Structure 1
Amino acid sequence: MIEIKNLEMTFPGNGGLLSQTSFKALRGINMKIQDGSAISVIGESGCGKTTLGRILAGYQRHTDGHVYFDGRDVDTLNKKERKAEFLKVQLIQQDPYAALNPSRTLGKALYEPLRLRAKAIGENHAWIEKRMEYLLALVGLDPVSTVHKYQHNLSGGQRQRFVIARSLTVDPKVLIADEAVSMIDVSLRLEVLNLLNDLRSRLGISVIFITHDVAAARYIADESQLYVIYKGEIVEQGKTDEVISKPMHPYTQSLLSAMPVLKGLESPGPERFDPIEAPNEDPVDTHCLFAQRCPFAQDKCFKEHPQLEKVVDDSRFTACFYPTPRRVAPVSNERDVS
């Protein structure tokens, strides 16, 4: 299990002639990822969701707060222990085209991490060959032909499948899919989402799905937790279907109303507004960070900072002084992510 407590990430200013003030990417993030579960993290570009994924994968260190793997604080581990823990968490890159070396065959790209793995656990070359065949078949690729190909010989969906196979070489417990289907042709997205769900059920792997696509988030974690992040803080949290069907935070409502209506003709009503264009905002956490963009903001919103609190039951939380369920344009009931 991964547990995050009060996670903060602040990037310092560049200190140059055009010096910028420090940027707070994450603000007091709290969440839990149980073994074999799936969660989704959604928000617009720049909200901090990719930074969160990189911290959980060990690509960068947080500036404050705690990350626990099976009850162990990663900040208390030595270098060797830390490396061993972060091997259990693998990041699936957004761009499968940039994730692979175009000058190497796919067989070589898969062989190298397996060679290191075999050395660590005392296995031989025969184990590597057998493991390569197993992993490629697991993600739906032909083991015989794939190992002799280069990345340009594969479609976008096949490349992403191969990237997933490579991430499985170290037997991870958690896969972090950072916009894993955004660079893939629409007709192939469902195949990759189904693959992630299949890996969860067959291998017991947890999936952290980072996306701005509400329909994809619903497909990958319909009964699990959905975290909505705005400017580095969680503004709404709950079961995915409940949050999507009855969003309570105005920012969640804005995200959903900005999505195209895939099926259904419900009117979004007056709550529909564009969450993309925003005025300059004070980065200090002394007021609601969404207040200047919120059509429902009141005086209190500009003077105090709302905390993430329970509003419905044990599984529903929102950081809003005036949470109100509002109907918005629906995401497809058929979970049509195409």
Structure 2
Amino acid sequence: MFRQERVIIENVNPQLQCGTYFIKRIIGETVQVHADLIPDGHDIVQAEVLFKHEKEKKHSEIRMEHLGQDVFTASFAVDKQGFYEYSVRGWVDHALNWQHGIEAKLKDGQYVKSELLDGVQYLNFVSGKTAAKEKAKIKKWTEQFQDDNQYEAAVTTATSDELHKLFIQYPQRTLANTSKTLQVYVDRKKANFSTWYEFFPRSASPEQGKHGTFKDCERLLPRIADMGFDVIYFPPIHPIGEKNRKGKNNTTVAREGDSGVPWAIGSKLGGHKSIHPELGTEEDFKALVQTAKTQGIEIAMDIAFQAAPDHPYIDEHPEWFRKRPDGTI
């Protein structure tokens, strides 16, 4: 069967490259959604935003406000980290059109008994969605709509704000259309703004000329926190290549005792899965991370994919590297 929707949904925003990429927000922010909804005639259109977190099973719904022309808008808050999905659903609202039609005919002085009888179907639908207290009220309205002797009361009910609100609260969504699903990734607040402090762990020793360690870094944490920094950025902490090692101030020849460049990763001591032994052990590094947390500081690591000429992977995985005609890598 052909798809039967009476509303076209266009220009849903925010989105990136027609939804190819997700947009971003921070915990506590809102996503303000706009969309154009174009019906196949002049009927009243209603729309809502459907959204949910990736760990939720059911979508939440929030009704969109009509801004004029064909533009609708609504917003939803994002309070958890992770992906949210959202889309726009729109439909021609028959109950609201019925109520609007009655109001127009009454202004023209017309007798609307037939329209009241037509409205019973909308009352029955709403009654099936409401609690027992409201069901009793709707039953009374249904009797009014069908009783010639209660015509004036029925007209008052049919044009009331109370009934209008029930139609808004319990829409029928006949032949509704739903837009393409879009995504927003919600990150923690620190992703929006943080203050980074960079230093070389090997320079953290209190003794000049001695290679620093992770334990030496712990000593510096209170001072860094007092300056207002909440992230420490480390260059690579892996073993540094010895072949073609650079010297101080980026000289091309290293002297005895020169530490080399941290980004020249890999030596006989290990590669990207190893820690430079002069910095300490993996346990020392984990202890540094935990101590930093007590100061409100996180550790950011440089992920560098360079490999020194004596990196273990060159022998272990030669297929990962490209050799030049002279045999060099």
The structure showing larger relative contact order (alpha-carbon pairs under 8 Å, at least 6 residues apart) is: 1
TM over 0.5, shorter chain? no
TM range (shorter): under 0.3
**TM-score, length-scaled by structure 2:** 0.20
**TM-score, length-scaled by structure 1:** 0.20
